[in-house]
Amino acid sequence: MSKCVGHGFTPKNADVHENYSRRDLRPARMWYISAMPIVSAATRTLDLLAVPYRVFEHSSPPASLEQAAAERSQQPSQVIRSILFRHEREYYVMVLIAGPGQVNWKRVRAHLGVSRLSMATGPEVRAVTGYEIGTVNPLGLLQPVRLLADESVFQHEEISIGSGVRGAAIILKSKDLQRVLGKIEIGLFAL
């Protein structure tokens, strides 16, 4: 059985890095509260910015993107993947793509004005993002990266992104993600 975990608490007139008693927090939304809440750089970022969201925990690792979407009561196109690319030495670009869509390498290279681009390796992904492959999202990254998003990423009102923790996803409004990301370049980056 999967469950939604309540997060997105915002403290009243206080720094989010302090400890709070239960009465000092007001929930952004009411959800089931897990005994062991999922905490990652992404959830801390959303909490700091007072962005409402919820964490969805899968009861077992989904076998496919379609299964993950179904368990979250979403369409596959609402699941946003964050893919890290490397251009030359230590220059990284993250491309957000909706659902099962594939990145159009030719369009990404043309947009960046480069002739060569490769996918980041597992160790590079961990070093740049702080996340394992399969849990990556564009929030709370260890190093700054250039962010590109296919325009399909923001077509649905609600989307889900990696949480930074295997078997869990963050569900939030697409307009909130776009606002939090700020200078994200939106274009046609999918096949």
The candidate with the shortest Cα–Cα distance to 187, out of 119, 95, 124, 120, is 95
pLDDT at residue 36, as a whole number: 62
Domain residue limits, the chain:
3-187
pLDDT at residue 54, as a whole number: 96
pLDDT at residue 96, as a whole number: 98
pLDDT at residue 37, as a whole number: 80
Instruction: Please give the DSSP secondary-structure letter assigned to residue 55.
Output: E
Instruction: Please give the DSSP secondary-structure letter assigned to residue 78.
Output: G
pLDDT at residue 154, as a whole number: 96
Place domain 3-187 in its CATH homologous superfamily: YbaK/aminoacyl-tRNA synthetase-associated domain (3.90.960.10)
pLDDT at residue 151, as a whole number: 95
Task: Show Cβ contacts of residue 151 under 8 Å, excluding neighbours closer than 6 positions.
Answer: 186, 187, 188
pLDDT at residue 38, as a whole number: 86
Q: How many CB atoms lie within 10 A of CB 153?
A: 29
Strand ranges for the chain from DSSP E: 3-6, 9-11, 25-27, 54-57, 80-87, 91-98, 118-119, 146-150, 158-162, 168-173, 185-187
User: Which parts of the chain sit beneath pLDDT 70?
Assistant: 1-36
- How far apart CA 171 and CA 6 sit, in angstroms, is 11
